[in-house]
Structure formats: C-alpha cells, structure tokens
C-alpha cells in the first residue's frame, strides 16, 4: 500500500503557501515520481487521482504563519495486468485515458461491428460509446472483475447531436483490467430516430430585440484574493479543488467586530447520483455515481468570459493528474465574482415619507462540469446578510433511448419522434463539516406546531416551535417536512449571543424529493444515503463519501449506513452534516434538444449567530449604480 507520500516536506519558495492549497503541477509531478520510485509500484500502473491529502484539523490549527508545513498527496492507482489495485475496491473510472481506450476497443470489436451493420451503420467511428459503471446486478461471471457496460449513440455527421440517435439494444461489456470486450449483447433492432436534435447557433434564426446588458464595476471588485484565500464583505474562506469533488471550500468564517468567527470547516458536494427509471434490460442499470465513479473535478469545463460568467471575473486554473500521472491544467476552472442580488432590506416610513433600502449582494464561487450528456453548474454563494447558499443548475441534453414507431413508455417522455427521455432523478449529497463558533456543535430539528386549544390559546390562533435535540446518529437520519416548516439548527451550545441564546446556523431545505426505487433495488443498496435528506455524524477524517470510497461494483452498505450503525453521539462535539438535495426530472418536450436550466438549492443562514441584522451596515446606494458602494 503506497497510497500516501510525503511530497514536498517543508514549504519552499514557489511551493504551496498554505496547507490547504490544491497540489501544484510541480507537486503532482513530484508525488508521482516518488510513487513510481517505490519498490511496490508497477510500470503499467494507471493513476486514478493524485490530489491533496488534506492536513488533519489539529495540525492545521497549530500551524503559524510563516512556519513550514507538510504537503501530502493522496494517490489512487490501478495495476491492470495483475488485477491489482492500490485500494480495496476501485472505481471503473481510471481517468480519461482508460475510457478513451475503452471506446476504441468496443468500436473495433467484430461482434459490435456486426451489431452496427444490422442497424445499417457502416461507420463505427461515428458511434459515440459511453461507458457506464456496471453496478451490482448479481451476475456471478462479473464477480471480481472491473467492468463497464456501454450505451451507444450515432452521429450522422461530425457536428450532430448524438443523443438524437440512440442506438437501441446494442451493448458491450468491457473488462477494464484486461482491456477486453467480455461480451456484446444485441437485444434487437429499433430504427434510429430521424430527428437531428440540433441546438447549435446558425441553424435557427435568432430572436431579435435583446439589447446588451453590461455589468461593470468601474472601481474594481470588492473582493480580495491572496493565493487560494478569498476575503469579501466580512467573509473569509479558502478555495480548494480535487478530481473527485471539484470545488471544495475550506475554513469558511465571518469577521464580526474584528473577530473571525468560524462557520464551516469544509464544504463540498461529496456524491452525485442519477438513478433512471427505465426497467428494460441494460437501461435498468443506468445509475451514475458521477462523483464516486467518474469525478466531477475531472469533468470540469474551462469557463469562458461573457458566456459562462458575466462581469468582473477572477478565474482560477486547477491542476490534476492524468492516467499516466502527468499533471495537466484546466484553465479557468473556478469562477469568482460578485453579483447584485436585488434588495437586501427595505422599509418606508409613511409618517416621515422616507425609505431606507439596501441592496443585497452575493459573492459566487462556481464551476461547471459536463458528465456525458449533462451539464451541472455548482454555485457557492455568500451573501451580505450572512447567508450561504449552494445552488445547482442542471442543463445539457437528456439521456435518450429509441422507441419503435408509435411506441410510448410508462417510464419516460417522448421528446421527439421515436425518442424517449427516461424519467430520472439527480441526488447531490452536500457534506458540511460544521464549526459554528468552534468545533463543538449540536443539531436541533426545529418544527412549528399549533398550540393546543385551551385557556392558554383562547383564540385558537397560537402556534409555536418545537426543538428536538438530535443526540445520536440514529436520531439524526431525517426527512424534510415543509408542512411543519421543518429545518435543522446547528448551534454551538457553549457560545451565547447578546440575547443569551445559543449561536447557530440554520439549514433551510427547499424543494426536495425521495427516490422511487424499491429498497431492495441495487441502486438503493449502494446509495442508501439518498433515502434520508439529512444525516449527522461525528467528524472522522476517513469518512468522506456518503456511499463509501469506491461505490462502483460495491454491493452496498458502505459509507453512511455503515458508519452510523455505531449510533455515535453527536451532541456538543465536532459534527458533519450530510444533506442530500434531489432534483426530480420528468422530462418535458421543452427539455429537447437541449434543456433549459433547472435549479435546486440549499440555504444555510445565521439564526442567532449575530445579535441583529448583520447587513445593517451595508451602505445605501443612490440612483444608477445598482449595488455600487458609492454610486
Ligand atoms: Cu435530469
């Protein structure tokens, strides 16, 4: 086991400036070189990931500015010939190189080519071969092998939308260690749909009348960036990035009267699961763990000014390692900018005939990924009133399957002739390592209930809140309940505000959903975390991913269900909140050929963290300069 190496030793000039900085190109190269030089490494090894091994919290707390610090890389590597993996169970995603080889391999297979010919396709190069994790569906012959299966689409011409032409019923199963096509299954021919699914510019006459909107900040931006640290309007946090989770936020704090008060130690989206509804052979295997199997950091786009992001933008490049362990850069991977967000607060005093109004602003750190057909845009937003929001926007192309002429399905929407977009869901598991005014936190479930009728409630109008302390892990596996206005309050029971109340941050759920797959379905076994909206665990450094480290082909039970069996106490201690945000997708014809953005979100807002409205001191604006400090 050679999974961790001390890479750089004490910090040197040009190296990382902070222990939480993502690995630089040099550090990735060094880590891989050290790893390769180890006697246990094999020449044919492939690298799944080389990322920062984040320092433990106590060590982080003890590092003084200017002091040297350790730098460690976390490496996951595979040895295909010996079927050796450097972790117990390894994801099928061995980086871009493997999936590319897999696509070529499938295209070259004579059984696959014969299947294409039966469908009138003579150009295998024009077939898009998508690799999907095979999951666990009880086939004995699959035991102990690293397998993927394929879904195929056809591009009639090079710039076509391939998802408009799903190739029905032809699937290959590939062994990633042997790099061999294990079998090709042909479930019968359905003709390719005729539509093109074209959504590109130049073929539709653009609508007229849209005049330019310009976002200008003539005096510059209001945030400061120092390395990976960001400061803006009392907020202070660090950006991080890795191949699996993409953007990570570290040490989020708020400067309050000269005192930096911690709120969240680490925040990331730790898993993204898309279960599909189509029950047909192969289609019923479609469950993508986009983080655990593929890695949303690896899938991150290079963003473009004026298109992805508008206004005064600060971009961050990120460094990752490819399958050979060679570092590469994703330019403009993270976007940082501020936005006017409408009014922040207002009151018009009728007697005085005077209005007090302040604008609301937010600072947004974002990244966008492409996972095959889909795009996900992740926005972490910090507001002038102390709120934090994660907003996810979903767009891209819905996954399609072909239908026979006149055929419909109970499990999807016909979005174009003979083109079925299957019902599905997207579950984002947000991991929040809380530290509200210090590491020792507790969680209350807060609901509102009617007060009982009686002498204390003579007009029957009274309602009150009920707080339930969640004391152990089993008590903290919860669902949303909007009709009871249910939310969760993370408090520091050891710190009081000026009113004598425990300081806290409130997790406010918005729209959400549960899975519809049966409990015994493979996807629920493997991803039990989606059966509860909230889980709370005591902090443990090794507990990072809700479906376990390597969900692919894992029979299930790993991650949250396994850890929480111990039913550990979660009161007045260092805790982690796991909130799963579901987007329910019954495709509409309007989602074709490319889908208008759908958005889901989660809000954390101060509840007694401050003594009063923290945005009282936002200066007023006068005409014109929307949100401008002195416009
Ligand atoms: Cu969707």
The burial class, CB within 10 Å (0-12 / 13-18 / 19+), for 458 is exposed
User: For all residues of the chain together, what is the average pLDDT?
Assistant: 87
State in Å: Cα 595 to ligand 1 middle: 9
Torsion of CA 21, 26, 27, 29, to 10 degrees: 140
Tokens of 190: 């359905």
- Check: CB of residue 175 under 8 Å from CB of residue 107: no
Candidates 567, 103, 23; CA nearest to 319 is 23
Q: 185 pairs with which residues across the strands?
A: 171
Q: 231 pairs with which residues across the strands?
A: 224, 236
Q: Which helix (H) or strand (E) holds 530?
A: none
194-211 average pLDDT score: 84
What share of the chain has pLDDT > 90, as a percent?
61
State in Å: Cα 210 to ligand 1 middle: 29
pLDDT tens sequence across 443-502: 999 999 999 999 999 999 999 999 999 999 999 999 999 999 999 999 999 999 999 999
Residue, of 355 and 548, whose pLDDT is higher: 355
Between CA 588 and CA 581 the distance in angstroms is 21
State in Å: Cα 157 to ligand 1 middle: 26
- Check: CB of residue 65 under 8 Å from CB of residue 139: no
Q: 446 pairs with which residues across the strands?
A: 467, 487
Band of the pLDDT at 203, cuts 50, 70, 90? low
Out of 142, 160, 290, 385, the active site residue is 290
What pLDDT shows up at residue 628?
41
State in Å: Cα 281 to ligand 1 middle: 21
What pLDDT shows up at residue 288?
75
Out of 374, 376, 383, 505, the active site residue is 374
Told to judge if 374 belongs to the known catalytic residues of this protein, a careful annotator would answer yes
Candidates 181, 176, 107; CA nearest to 323 is 176
**pLDDT tops 50 at residue 56:** yes
Between CA 428 and CA 139 the distance in angstroms is 29
State in Å: Cα 374 to ligand 1 middle: 8
Candidates 47, 42, 85; CA nearest to 323 is 47
The burial class, CB within 10 Å (0-12 / 13-18 / 19+), for 455 is exposed
What does R_g of the chain's alpha carbons equal in angstroms? Answer: 26
What number of other Cβ atoms are within 10 A of residue 57's Cβ? Answer: 16
The burial class, CB within 10 Å (0-12 / 13-18 / 19+), for 238 is buried
16-29 average pLDDT score: 85
Query: Is 104 strand, coil or helix?
Result: helix
State in Å: Cα 134 to ligand 1 middle: 20
Look up the pTM and report it: 0.90
**pLDDT tops 80 at residue 290:** no
- The dihedral built from the CA positions of residue 297, 300, 304 and 308, taken in this order, carries a sign that is negative
pLDDT tens sequence across 298-336: 889 999 887 888 889 999 999 998 888 888 999 999 999
State in Å: Cα 424 to ligand 1 middle: 6
DSSP state letters, 539-607: --TT---TT-S--TT--S--SHHHHGGG--B-SSB-EEEEEEEEEEE---GGGSSSEEEEEEEEEEEES
Between CA 162 and CA 235 the distance in angstroms is 44
580-599 average pLDDT score: 97
What pLDDT shows up at residue 105?
82
State in Å: Cα 287 to ligand 1 middle: 12
**pLDDT tops 90 at residue 39:** no
What pLDDT shows up at residue 55?
79
State in Å: Cα 396 to ligand 1 middle: 9
State in Å: Cα 430 to ligand 1 middle: 18
**pLDDT tops 90 at residue 399:** yes
State in Å: Cα 320 to ligand 1 middle: 28
State in Å: Cα 184 to ligand 1 middle: 28
State in Å: Cα 362 to ligand 1 middle: 27
What pLDDT shows up at residue 142?
67
Tokens of 197: 């699914």
Between CA 408 and CA 419 the distance in angstroms is 9
State in Å: Cα 280 to ligand 1 middle: 19
Between CA 367 and CA 335 the distance in angstroms is 6
Q: Please, what is the Cα angle at 611 between 606 and 612, to 5 degrees?
A: 80
**pLDDT tops 90 at residue 97:** no
What share of the chain has pLDDT > 70, as a percent?
89
Tokens of 582: 């579901």
Q: Please, what is the Cα angle at 188 between 183 and 194, to 5 degrees?
A: 115
Q: Which of 20-29, 280-289, 385-394 has the lowest average pLDDT? A: 280-289
């Amino acid at each position: 086991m050679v999974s961790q190496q001390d890479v750089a030793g004490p910090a040197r000039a040009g190296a990382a400036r902070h222990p939480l900085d993502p690995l630089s190109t040099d550090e990735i190269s060094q880590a891989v070189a050290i790893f390769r030089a180890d006697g246990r490494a094999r020449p044919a090894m492939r690298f799944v990931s080389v990322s920062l091994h984040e320092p433990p919290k106590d060590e982080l707390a003890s590092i003084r500015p200017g002091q040297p610090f350790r730098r460690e890389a976390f490496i996951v590597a595979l040895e295909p010939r010996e079927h050796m993996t450097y972790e117990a169970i390894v994801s099928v995603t061995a980086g871009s190189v493997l999936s590319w080889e897999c696509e070529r391999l499938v295209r070259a297979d004579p059984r696959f080519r014969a299947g294409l010919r039966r469908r009138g396709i003579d150009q295998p190069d024009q077939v898009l071969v998508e690799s999907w994790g095979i999951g666990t569906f009880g086939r004995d012959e699959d035991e102990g092998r690293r397998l993927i299966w394929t879904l195929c689409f056809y591009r009639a011409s090079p710039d076509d939308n391939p998802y408009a032409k799903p190739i029905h019923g032809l699937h290959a199963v590939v062994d990633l260690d042997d790099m061999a096509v294990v079998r090709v299954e042909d479930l019968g021919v359905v003709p390719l749909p005729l539509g093109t699914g074209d959504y590109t510019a130049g073929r539709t006459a653009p609508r007229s009348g849209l005049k330019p909107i310009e976002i200008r900040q003539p005096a510059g931006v209001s945030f400061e960036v120092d390395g990976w640290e960001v400061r803006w309007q009392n907020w202070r946090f660090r950006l991080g990035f890795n191949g699996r989770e993409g953007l990570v936020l570290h040490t989020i704090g708020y400067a309050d009267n000269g005192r930096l008060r911690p709120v969240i130690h680490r925040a990331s989206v730790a898993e993204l699961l898309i279960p599909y509804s189509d029950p047909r052979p192969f289609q019923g295997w479609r469950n993508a763990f986009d983080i655990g199997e593929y890695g949303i950091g690896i899938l991150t786009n290079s963003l473009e000014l004026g298109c992805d992001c508008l206004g005064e933008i600060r971009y961050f490049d990120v460094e990752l390692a490819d399958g050979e362990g060679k570092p590469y850069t994703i330019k403009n991977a993270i976007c940082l900018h501020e936005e006017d967000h409408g009014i922040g607060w207002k009151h018009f005093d009728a007697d005085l005939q005077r209005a007090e109004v302040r604008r609301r602003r937010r600072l947004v750190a974002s990244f966008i990924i492409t996972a095959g057909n889909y795009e996900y845009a992740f926005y972490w937003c910090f507001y002038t009133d102390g709120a934090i929001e994660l907003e996810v926007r979903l767009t891209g192309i819905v996954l399609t399957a072909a239908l026979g002429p006149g055929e419909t399905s109970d499990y999807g929407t016909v979005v174009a002739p003979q083109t079925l977009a299957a019902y599905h869901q997207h579950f984002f598991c947000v991991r929040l390592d809380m530290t509200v005014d210090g590491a020792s936190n507790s969680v209350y479930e807060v609901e509102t209930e009617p007060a009982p009728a009686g002498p204390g409630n003579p007009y029957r109008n009274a309602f009150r809140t009920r707080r339930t302390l969640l004391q152990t892990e089993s008590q903290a596996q919860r669902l949303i309940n909007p009709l009871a206005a249910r939310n969760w309050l993370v408090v520091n029971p050891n710190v009081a505000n000026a009113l004598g109340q425990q300081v806290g941050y409130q997790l406010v759920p918005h729209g959400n959903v549960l899975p519809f797959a049966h409990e015994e379905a493979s996807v629920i076994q493997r991803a039990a975390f989606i059966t509860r909206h909230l889980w709370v665990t005591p902090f443990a450094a090794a507990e990072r991913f809700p479906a376990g480290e390597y969900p692919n082909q894992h029979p299930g039970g790993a991650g949250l269900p396994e850890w929480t069996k111990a039913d550990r106490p979660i009161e007045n201690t260092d805790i982690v909140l796991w909130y799963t945000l579901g987007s329910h997708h019954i495709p509409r014809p309007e989602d074709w050929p490319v889908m208008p953005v759908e958005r889901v979100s989660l809000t954390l807002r101060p509840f007694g963290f401050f003594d009063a409205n923290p945005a009282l001191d936002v200066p007023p604006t006068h005409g014109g300069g929307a949100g401008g400090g002195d416009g």
